[in-house]
């Protein structure tokens, strides 16, 4: 039989997983993730009721119901590395017995559905500030996802890996030490989650765009921001991302989390998707006004909640 997982590998203290701090019954099967801990309440304000609230480090998790659907919202902090922790520990709460430290029978485990509600920059001049970007694929310019032996989901991911690697290497001057070191990996959102998000954005009449999300491992150098004192390895990264094409697909936005979320969540058999307003215009050098930002984030939350409820209702009917 399965052996218990060692204490150093999966840390559980008083029935709670180490970083996110939840017990097994403090996470629903429907989970929203958001980078900013300050956004958790903005999502939870839409819930019918709140059953638990757990806070540790940058992880704040609120669980309740929305129109009768059990739902959680969790902040993860910025970046793929702390999102890795969020995914693995949410999976542990769902699929591992936290008392015995042994994996549950997979046939008795309900798959999670995870939707990221974030913010992002936009490399395309025609996808204007305030547009809701919905990710069908993610291009990982971080390297967190390659720690896991989940190969590319389909041919689009394989093409994206190759084309992005070639374009990024070509945009790196010969003399730069790390030329050729950035090796992008691609991952895929769950099509039914992408469709549910796009349908709800359409129904509500919110401008939106579906396509590839580039996920980076930094906000500054890794997104090609030029700050005095910090020389870049890759020149004009937003321009590279603007030009990149795989068939009809193009990059609709740039953020710091989706590559890893899709890689891990679909890898382990869960459903996932991401919706983020574009708040920085990288082609024009512009940034969203505070009131437009607040409205865009609220639209993201409304679409996310409606899409999650739609998926939940369909699950129950089938």
Strand partners of residue 35: none
If binding is defined by CB under 8 A, does position 150 make contact with its own copies? Answer: yes
Strand partners of residue 113: 30, 271
Q: Which is nearer to its own copies, 106 or 205 (CB)?
A: 106
From residue 27, give the alpha-carbon distance in Å to each of 7, 23, 64, 92, 117: 22, 8, 9, 11, 17
Distance CA 40, CA 278 (A): 19
Q: Which stretch binds its own copies (CB under 8 A): 85-93, 186-194, 202-210, 243-251?
A: 85-93
CB of 258 to its own copies, least distance (A): 13
Asked if 78 and 9 touch (Cβ cutoff 8 Å), the reply is: no
- Write the interaction track for its own copies spanning residues 49-68; mark x where CB under 8 A is met and - where it is not: -------xxx----------
CB of 135 to its own copies, least distance (A): 18
Q: Which of 181, 191, 245, 294 binds its own copies (CB under 8 A)?
A: 181
Q: What single-letter DSSP state applies at residue 197?
A: H
CB of 77 to its own copies, least distance (A): 4
Q: Which of 151, 174, 248, 291 binds its own copies (CB under 8 A)?
A: 151
**Which secondary-structure segment (H or E) carries 59?**
strand 59-66
Q: Which stretch binds its own copies (CB under 8 A): 43-51, 83-91, 245-253, 305-313?
A: 83-91
Asked if 36 and 2 touch (Cβ cutoff 8 Å), the reply is: no
Q: Which stretch binds its own copies (CB under 8 A): 6-14, 25-33, 188-196, 298-306?
A: 6-14
From residue 89, give the alpha-carbon distance in Å to each of 10, 66, 167: 8, 23, 35
CB of 94 to its own copies, least distance (A): 10
If binding is defined by CB under 8 A, does position 127 make contact with its own copies? Answer: no
**Which secondary-structure segment (H or E) carries 241?**
helix 237-243
CB of 78 to its own copies, least distance (A): 4
Q: In the window 93-122, what residues touch its own copies (CB under 8 A)?
A: 95-96, 103, 121
HSE value, Cβ hemisphere, 13 Å, CA-based, for 311: 29
Q: Which of 46, 53, 183, 295 binds its own copies (CB under 8 A)?
A: 183
Distance CA 34, CA 73 (A): 8
Q: Which residues of 182-216 are buried (b: 16+ CB within 10 A; e: fewer)?
A: bebbbbbbbeebbbbbbebbeeeebebbbbbbbbb
Distance CA 28, CA 243 (A): 40
- Write the interaction track for its own copies spanning residues 236-255; mark x where CB under 8 A is met and - where it is not: --------------------
Distance CA 69, CA 72 (A): 10
Q: Which of 112, 160, 209, 264 binds its own copies (CB under 8 A)?
A: 264
CB of 75 to its own copies, least distance (A): 8
If binding is defined by CB under 8 A, does position 176 make contact with its own copies? Answer: yes
Q: Which is nearer to its own copies, 65 or 167 (CB)?
A: 167
């Amino acid at each position: 039989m399965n052996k218990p997982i060692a204490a150093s590998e999966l840390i559980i203290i008083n029935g709670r997983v180490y970083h996110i701090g939840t017990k097994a019954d403090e996470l629903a099967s429907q989970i929203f993730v958001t980078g900013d801990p300050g956004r958790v309440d903005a999502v939870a304000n839409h819930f019918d009721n709140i059953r638990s609230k757990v806070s540790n480090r940058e992880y704040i998790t609120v669980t309740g119901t929305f129109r009768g659907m059990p739902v959680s919202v969790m902040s993860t902090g910025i970046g793929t590395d702390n999102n890795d922790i969020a995914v693995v520990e949410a999976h542990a709460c769902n699929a591992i017995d936290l008392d015995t430290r042994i994996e549950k029978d997979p046939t008795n485990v309900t798959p999670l559905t995870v939707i990221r509600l974030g913010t992002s920059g936009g490399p395309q001049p025609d996808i204007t500030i305030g547009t809701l970007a919905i990710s069908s694929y993610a291009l990982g310019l971080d390297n967190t996802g390659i720690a896991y032996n989940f190969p590319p989901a389909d041919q689009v991911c394989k093409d994206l890996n190759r084309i992005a690697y070639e374009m990024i290497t070509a945009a790196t001057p010969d003399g730069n030490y790390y030329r050729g070191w950035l090796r992008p990996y691609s991952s895929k959102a769950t099509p039914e989650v992408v469709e549910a998000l796009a349908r709800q954005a359409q129904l509500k009449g919110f401008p939106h765009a579906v396509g590839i999300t580039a996920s980076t491992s930094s906000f500054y150098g890794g997104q090609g921001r030029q700050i005095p004192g910090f020389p870049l390895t890759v020149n004009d990264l937003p321009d590279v991302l603007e030009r990149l094409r795989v068939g009809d697909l193009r990059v609709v936005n740039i953020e710091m989390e989706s590559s890893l979320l899709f890689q891990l969540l679909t890898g382990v058999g869960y459903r996932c998707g991401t919706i983020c307003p574009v708040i920085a215009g990288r082609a024009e050098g512009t940034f969203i006004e505070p009131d437009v930002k607040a409205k865009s984030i609220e639209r993201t939350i409304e679409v996310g909640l409606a899409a999650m409820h739609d998926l939940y209702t369909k699950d129950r009917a089938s």
